[in-house]
Amino acid sequence: MDIARPTRAEQARIAGACRHPQGNFEPVVLASPEHLPAYFEQRAAAFGARLALRKAEQRLTHRELQTLASSLAQRIRARSGPHAAPVALLVENGP
């Protein structure tokens, strides 16, 4: 998996568009993209009942988000067969 790292200008633009309740962001540096699922699971375990996403009246806790992400990953794996391959997803805009 190849994930391009955003430039500092892109990071500033993204941070400016986000609405964090305390106005601060925790930088995350992963050794490789393969470490992202484990990091996500650790965060869900540590902050299970805390709000992870909000859009209008929709809200998801870290635990709910982890459950949905795991369910989606399992469905993708079940359909992809024995060989890993890139997958494109078309999803609605929202949590």
32-86 pLDDT per residue, tens: 777 888 888 888 999 999 998 888 888 999 999 999 989 988 888 888 878 777 7
Give residue 19's pLDDT.
Answer: 66
What string of H, E and C letters represents the secondary structure of the chain? CCCCCCCHHHHHHHHHHCCCCCCCCCCCCCCCHHHHHHHHHHHHHHCCCCEEEEECCEEEEHHHHHHHHHHHHHHHHHHHCCCCCCCCCCCCCCC
pLDDT for the residue 7: 80
Q: Give the model's pLDDT for residue 22.
A: 66
| Confidence band for 1, pLDDT divided at 50, 70 and 90 | very low
Q: Which residue has the higher pLDDT, 74 or 5?
A: 74
